[in-house]
């Protein structure tokens, strides 16, 4: 798996995680933080910024 494939897999996982946080009454802050990481990941792919891809991949990977 290369960086873009890994990043896309983490984006998918984090979208599912965000949906879970959206169902929790007190999950608003977590949902917002995950949404920010998703946005940064999508932007890194759009820009082709490898350094940003690595940074956002780690952030997405760390989300639980």
Q: What's this model's pTM, rounded to 2 decimal places?
A: 0.93
Q: Print pLDDT tens along the chain (64 aa).
A: 899 999 999 999 999 999 999 999 999 999 999 999 999 999 999 999 999 999 999 999 999 9
Could you write out the DSSP letters of every residue in 26-44? T-HHHHHHHHHHHHHHHHH
Alpha carbon dihedral 42, 48, 50, 51, in 10-degree steps, equals -70
Residue 33 CB burial class (10 angstroms; 0-12, 13-18, ≥19) = middle
Domains of the chain: 3-62 (1.20.1270)
């Amino acid at each position: 798996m290369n960086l873009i494939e890994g990043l896309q897999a983490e984006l998918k996982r984090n979208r599912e995680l965000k949906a879970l946080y959206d169902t929790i009454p007190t999950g608003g802050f977590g949902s917002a933080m995950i949404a920010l990481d998703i946005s940064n990941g999508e932007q890194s792919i759009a820009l082709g910024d490898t350094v940003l891809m690595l940074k956002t991949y780690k952030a997405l990977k760390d989300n639980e």
